[in-house]
């Protein structure tokens, strides 16, 4: 009998990044494949160096992740799962260094403001780094004793640093939503509650978007996300990214998508996947 091999999952950042934490949550036996950029994550799958891609799409504190909605329709890949990672920020330092010796920290630009209260209370200055887990890796390789890093506790464990304080984020609901993507579209019903994600471009007619959305309202389909973005450098060519609750085979969803088709030039399903329990925990 042939055993299935653990999947190789590409993600942006160094080992210990929050994206790596999302990989561990989704596939505990998976093999992490760190990449420098989001484009690099997608290229790794297309080139066969990874089987799956893990990409962040939005965060409860700072909103959507830049460039992701532009990349997804062009990626040639499809969403098979979603993951919600609670962003817990840990202050870490080299072994043997106490908290009162830390005068300066490095972390990703987005992470620093989320721990402002703790840093100000301890008189710690900060500077941005390209990647928090990467900063942890650099510190472990020989950084100064007065310097620390803000990152996931997973990064401290991987790179041999000591956690001096954990859970120092200002907001206790800070959560990032990730999408696990694969080359093939899976339309099977793999859970009691399903999500469908798609992109579309409305026709150039008056009130096209209003009419396109009407089918979801009249059929009682809940749309949880609608984002617009320009394509081709044109102010008139606008595409929309949408998440809805339900499966394309559900009668109400099927009717809503059919009605949407009347008012669009393009409609492309990016993924059909189970709704993660973290979606309801975040909402509540």
Helices (H) and strands (E) in the chain, counts: 9, 15
* Token pair 């561990």: residue: 24
Among 38, 118, 176, 263, the active-site one is 176
How far apart (Å, rounded) are the C-alpha atoms in residues 162 and 113? Answer: 22
How far apart (Å, rounded) are the C-alpha atoms in residues 110 and 100? Answer: 25
How far apart (Å, rounded) are the C-alpha atoms in residues 284 and 279? Answer: 9
Among 178, 216, 240, 263, the active-site one is 178
Contacts of 211 (CB under 8 A, 6+ apart): 262, 263
Which pairing describes strands 147-151 and 104-108: parallel, antiparallel, or unpaired?
parallel
Active site (annotated) includes residue 84 = no
Nearest CA-CA partner of 11 in 28, 46, 36, 48: 36
Nearest CA-CA partner of 143 in 135, 151, 154: 135
Which pairing describes strands 63-64 and 104-108: parallel, antiparallel, or unpaired?
unpaired
Active site (annotated) includes residue 178 = yes
Q: Which residues are catalytic?
A: 176, 178
């Amino acid at each position: 009998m042939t055993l299935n091999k653990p999947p190789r999952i590409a993600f942006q950042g160094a080992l210990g990044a929050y994206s790596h934490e999302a990989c561990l949550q989704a596939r505990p036996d998976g093999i992490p494949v760190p990449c420098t950029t989001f484009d690099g994550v997608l290229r790794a799958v297309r080139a066969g160096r990874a089987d799956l891609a893990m990409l962040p799409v939005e965060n409860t504190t700072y909103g959507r992740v830049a460039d992701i909605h532009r990349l997804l329709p062009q990626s040639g890949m499809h969403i098979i799962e979603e993951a919600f990672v609670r962003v817990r920020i840990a202050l870490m330092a080299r072994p043997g260094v106490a908290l009162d010796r830390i005068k300066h920290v490095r972390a990703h630009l987005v992470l620093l403001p989320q721990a402002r209260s703790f840093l100000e209370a301890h008189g710690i200055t900060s500077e941005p780094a390209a990647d928090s887990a990467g900063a942890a890796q650099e510190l472990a390789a020989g950084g100064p004793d007065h310097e620390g890093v803000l990152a996931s506790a997973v990064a401290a464990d991987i790179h041999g640093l000591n956690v001096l304080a954990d859970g120092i984020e200002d907001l206790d609901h800070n959560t990032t939503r990730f999408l696990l993507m694969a080359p093939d579209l899976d339309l099977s019903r793999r859970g009691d509650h399903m999500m469908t994600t798609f992109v579309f471009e409305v026709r150039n007619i008056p009130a096209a978007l209003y009419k396109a959305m009407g089918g979801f309202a009249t059929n009682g389909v809940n749309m949880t996300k609608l984002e617009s973005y320009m394509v081709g450098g044109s102010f008139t060519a606008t595409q929309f990214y949408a998440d809805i609750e339900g499966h394309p085979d559900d009668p109400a969803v099927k009717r809503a998508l059919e009605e949407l088709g009347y008012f669009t030039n393009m409609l492309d399903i990016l993924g059909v996947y189970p709704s993660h329990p973290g979606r309801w925990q975040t909402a509540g």
